[in-house]
Structure 1
Amino acid sequence: MAPLASQKLAVDLIGLDFFDPEAMEEAVQGSQFEHSLDVPGQFHGTVVQARNERTRLDWGRYDLPVIARGPFAPDRMTFGALLNEQGNSLVNGLVLPPGSMLLFREGEELNTRLSPNSNWLTIQLDRQSLAQIGLEPSNRGVDAWRPDVESDRVLRKKILKNARFIESTTHRAREAGLLAANQSINDIEDDVLVVLTRLLGARRVLPVIASHQGKEEALRIVRDAINYMEANIDSPITIAEICAALPTNIKSLERAFLHTYGIGPKQYLSRFRLSNLRRMLLRASGGERVLTEAYLACGLPHFSRAAQGYKHLFGELPSLTLSRAQS
């Protein structure tokens, strides 16, 4: 959908009637995330993106659990909140319940498995805004807070109310509505700055992930393994080959993926290949030859087996996805 704009505000709505990894790449503005669907089913989602002269805000809802990885925007810090009512999410090796809040440094890498019916919001802040209220976060790592006071729950409700209002402006392009939505963005930013002042000041912070030796090592193993998978996506590599290339042992590799995404490396590799196949088919043009080339490009030489795995995960055969892309 084309953005609505006023002098100070632009709002985009991304409606997802099926799992589309490419459309979800910049779910957080200025970032670049790879997405994989974690469980079989018919996927639906929505991402609302708003920005004014000072702030970038993104609000997303996905009905099925999704795995995402990649760097946040390099020019701003990113505050994130898990707004869903139920279900824990994994974020950089931490198990976080609904209501949890996070602060990522500029360009920090995200590794997450979002819970079913996830509801998340990010707002990007520059260090100057934080310095103006006396906050000087460290230059490395991720701070994470679990909700444990009533004010955190009140904040979540206020943020959700303002985010819903911003989304409503995509359905009514009236200038007054856009101006009110712009105020909603400012209100969310003010609330976030207030809560960050309280949380950082009170030091109610879980261990900074980047300095936690065990989690840092697990994230390094996962990062190196996925880089190897990406570099060899057109080859039917094995878990033993990945271990030899890093190098690490199978037990450490298995543990690192379970801590980071809740699934083992073999499951991750399978979802990674199938999600990349879907990405290619949704943007492809051509017939049976294109489908064959896509299978091989994703390291899936057993076409029948790959087609059944694809249908199990996405609810349709690859040929149907290709037909949709060409219609």
Structure 2
Amino acid sequence: MGQFLLVDSRKLDGFEGLRQAVHGSHVDVMQLGRGRLRGTLSHIGIDDFSLSIGTFNVGMRTQRVSSDDKLIIGMLLAAEDRVAHWSFDMQLNDVLVIPPLLEHDGVFHGASAYAAMRFDINEVASLFGGEPRLSDPDTWRSRGHFRADLETGAIASRSLVRIMSHLRTQKSGLTRSTADFWKRSIVECIAANVMSSLPTDDNGSLPSTRRLIRRAEEYLDEAGTRPVHVSEVCAALGVARRTLHRAFHEVFGLGPVSFLRHKRLCAVHSILQQSAPGSTTVAAVAMEQGFYELGRFSRYYLAMFGERPSQTLGVATLHTAGNDTASA
């Protein structure tokens, strides 16, 4: 399983450590502020996709040469002073796009934190599927700067940090299906932030609601018990997320995100209920279904089923033990 997840996390002691500020991409770094640079640098690699989060305590100048053929999309997580990329003055949670083979110049005037994802631009169509303005590779071929919405940006920032924190603890790695889910979860944080800065694009046209829901459910049935991200459904059906949300809310009274969460909760329940004693743990099953905050997962589960996941697993264990006794 581990081949789908690479983890690298270390403390920084000197500006040289930031030369790999984005996983797989060399950056020339010069320290601007006084004092010894301290900080942290974490990378998550999922196949050729990576998420990097860095923090540092003094001003820095970063330059990236045009030798990298990957797309980099970054977000400013924290800054105590001015941050400028090219001619853009960044504000908290703003999104920055560095296209393939483009030189980049950034200046951090004080302690800062950032997140950056790096991947092949040809993956844009699948990872941003369902959002026509984001799923076209040409959208990302020129440098860009997206001003964050205060609320959406704060949510995106917290989510990226939580995802990074969670995946760093997954010593057993990821399966192929969960690897895709986590890539989409990371991209979703950035996508939601970018979309909030764009003008509303609502044509008012809604395909037959029942037909759309049926197609979505058929896709989910084919996926089986693996976790499915809402962006994957949008890409498969060729619809915008706004359209899918309206359809699901009209039929179920739930948005597609809530519907998919309920579906994943049901999958966890069924797996726990059918598990043999000692064969698995609640945490392992929750992770396989895309839940990375166990506290929040437990609250969802309790509200949904009226019992804790450990109770479901315990009942399964008792049933299995009872069957073994009867067989004996």
* CA displacement, residues 88-144 of structure 1 (integer Å, 9 cap, x when unaligned): 301112111221111111122221112422110101233333223232234643111
**Which sections of structure 1, spanning at least 5 residues, go unmatched?**
204-327
Among candidates 111, 119, 144, match of residue 117 of structure 1: 111
* CA displacement, residues 143-166 of structure 1 (integer Å, 9 cap, x when unaligned): 112223422222122112222333
**Is 2:96 the partner of 1:98?**
no
Secondary structure of 1:69's match? Answer: strand
Once the two structures are superposed, the pairs formed by residues 166-181 of structure 1 within 5 Å of their partners are: 166-167=167-168, 169=169, 174-175=171-172
**Is 2:53 the partner of 1:59?**
yes
**Aligned residues with identical type, % of pairs:** 16
**Is 2:124 the partner of 1:130?**
yes
Structure 1 Cα separation of the partners of residues 85 and 10 of structure 2: 23
Structure 1 Cα separation of the partners of residues 6 and 80 of structure 2: 31
Among candidates 5, 12, 18, match of residue 16 of structure 1: 12
Secondary structure of 2:19's match? Answer: coil
Once the two structures are superposed, the pairs formed by residues 164-313 of structure 1 within 5 Å of their partners are: 164-167=165-168, 169=169, 174-175=171-172, 184-197=182-195, 199=197
Secondary structure of 1:7's match? Answer: helix
Structure 2 Cα separation of the partners of residues 92 and 51 of structure 1: 27
* CA displacement, residues 63-85 of structure 1 (integer Å, 9 cap, x when unaligned): 11111112366332111000016
Which one scores higher on RCO, CA 8 angstroms, separation ≥ 6?
1
Contact 2:71 2:118 in 1 (8 A): yes
Aligned length: 193
Relative to 1, partners in 2 of residues 1:125 and 1:179: Cα closer, same or farther, differing over 3 Å?
A: closer
Contact 1:81 1:100 in 2 (8 A): yes
Structure 1 Cα separation of the partners of residues 173 and 140 of structure 2: 39
The answer for the alignment partner of 1:151 in structure 2 is: 152
TM-align CA RMSD: 3.1
Structure 2 Cα separation of the partners of residues 57 and 155 of structure 1: 14
Contact 2:27 2:63 in 1 (8 A): yes
Contact 1:166 1:181 in 2 (8 A): no
Structure 1 Cα separation of the partners of residues 158 and 48 of structure 2: 23
Given residue 128 of structure 1, which amino acid in structure 2 is its aligned partner?
A: N
**Is 2:109 the partner of 1:108?**
no
Secondary structure of 1:34's match? Answer: strand
Given residue 187 of structure 2, which amino acid in structure 1 is its aligned partner?
A: E
Secondary structure of 2:149's match? Answer: coil
Given residue 63 of structure 2, which amino acid in structure 1 is its aligned partner?
A: R
Structure 2 Cα separation of the partners of residues 99 and 198 of structure 1: 12
Contact 1:86 1:97 in 2 (8 A): no
**Is 2:143 the partner of 1:142?**
yes
Relative to 1, partners in 2 of residues 1:151 and 1:30: Cα closer, same or farther, differing over 3 Å?
A: same
Please state how far the C-alpha of 1:178 moved relative to its aligned partner: 9.9
TM-score, normalised with respect to structure 2: 0.51
Q: Radius of gyration: which is bigger?
A: 2
Among candidates 3, 22, 29, match of residue 7 of structure 1: 3
The answer for the alignment partner of 2:22 in structure 1 is: 28
Given residue 12 of structure 1, which amino acid in structure 2 is its aligned partner?
A: D
**Is 2:161 the partner of 1:160?**
yes
Given residue 175 of structure 1, which amino acid in structure 2 is its aligned partner?
A: S
Structure 2 Cα separation of the partners of residues 46 and 199 of structure 1: 30
